[in-house]
Amino acid sequence: MPLPEDERVEIIPASSDWALEFRRIADVLEAHLGVVGIEHIGSTAVAGLDAKPIIDMVIVTRTNDEIDRVQKGLPELGYYSEGEKGIPGRYSFGRTVSTVPRGLQPPIMDHHLYLTMADSEFIRSQRLFRDYLVAHRRCLEAYAVLKRALAREFGSDRDIYTEKKTAFVKQVLAAACLSETIPAIEQEHIGAGAFSAVDMRVGTVVDARPHPNARKPAIVLDIDFGPLGRRISSARLTDRYAAQDLLGEQVVAAVNLGDRQIGSIVSQCLVLGIETGSGTTRLRPDDPTPNGARVY
């Protein structure tokens, strides 16, 4: 029997555990299904956004054969099909018990699982909405306030709660679509004060792996910044490096620009590089440097 769904909408403070739990579930799905296109979507995918403690995740495929393979493989993990549920091209899957997917150590966070094609309108709009909130803090904060107010007033009716958010979601999507068509305005002078506000540090790569679902090829780096601790970055360095080439190597990164959701990864720093004719070369010190040393 399907799990009973709690009818009450509960909005709780954002947690960094959500991204970790998404990755834990996605790893099991990828290993069993042989797919790597699994994305974290919805409010729990946006760092710092208060949300219902339910992860939304979507398997993105490129062919009908992949769709068929995934649909056949998911029941083996304990999922059951719920069909398109009114959204053409988006297939929903529920969990039979709270320990689904099978093979993952409980407790497992409640989650909604979807399946769609890479060119579907569903995944395009989900990415636009997610990425716009990540890039626009005031919009994120306004959305959090709205969700809390709606949960207080309409928390006992999920359908009405969702309906009342529709106007805001449409406004964000319209703004996101517009921003895609307007190029960024370059500034010739930002001033020494603005430059000095960027905190750039030296760190050593302690783990590296290909980013499974970034829009552009990237490498996920786990970087040790000494006194600042370790931070994750999604770095577009694949033209010049394989993941294993960067293990033990030092990099320079901006560490105070805030978190950014890139596919399934929360990137916590920006690795700096030099654009060349053959790709991007990482910025690094000439000599071994203490982790956490500041760059001026």
End-to-end Cα separation, the chain, in angstroms: 61
Q: Fold match between 17-179 and 198-295? A: no
How confident is the model over 42-58, as a mean pLDDT?
Answer: 96
Question: Could you tell me where the beta strands, DSSP code E, fall in 107-224?
Answer: 111-117, 200-210, 219-224
Quick one: which of 225, 249, 228 has its CA closest to 237? 249
Give the position of tokens 């305005």: 185
How confident is the model over 273-295, as a mean pLDDT?
Answer: 86
| Residue 48: per-residue pLDDT | 94
The pair of structure tokens assigned to 57 is: 């995740």
Q: Is the pLDDT score of 260 beyond 60?
A: yes
Note the pLDDT tens digit of each residue in 11-49.
Answer: 999 999 999 999 999 999 999 998 768 999 999 999 999
User: What are the domain boundaries of the chain?
Assistant: 17-179, 198-295
What is the average pLDDT value for the chain, to the nearest integer?
88
* CB-CB contact of 44 with 11 (8 Å): no
pLDDT band at 7 (very low <50, low <70, confident <90, very high): low
Note the pLDDT tens digit of each residue in 117-176.
Answer: 999 999 999 999 999 999 898 899 999 999 999 999 999 998 899 999 999 999 899 888
Q: How far is CA 145 from CA 51, 54, 168, in A?
A: 11, 18, 12
Neighbouring C-alpha atoms within 13 Å toward the C-beta of 62: 4
Beta-carbon count within 10 A of 185 CB: 5
| Residue 199: per-residue pLDDT | 86
How confident is the model over 70-91, as a mean pLDDT?
Answer: 95
| Residue 280: per-residue pLDDT | 83
Quick one: which of 140, 164, 141 has its CA closest to 152? 164
CATH superfamily name and code, 17-179: Beta Polymerase, domain 2 (3.30.460.10)
Q: Is the pTM of this model over 0.85?
A: no
Least confident of 54-63, 85-94, 180-189, 205-214: 180-189
Fold of 198-295: OB fold (Dihydrolipoamide Acetyltransferase, E2P) (2.40.50)
Distance CA(78)–CA(252), nearest Å, equals: 44
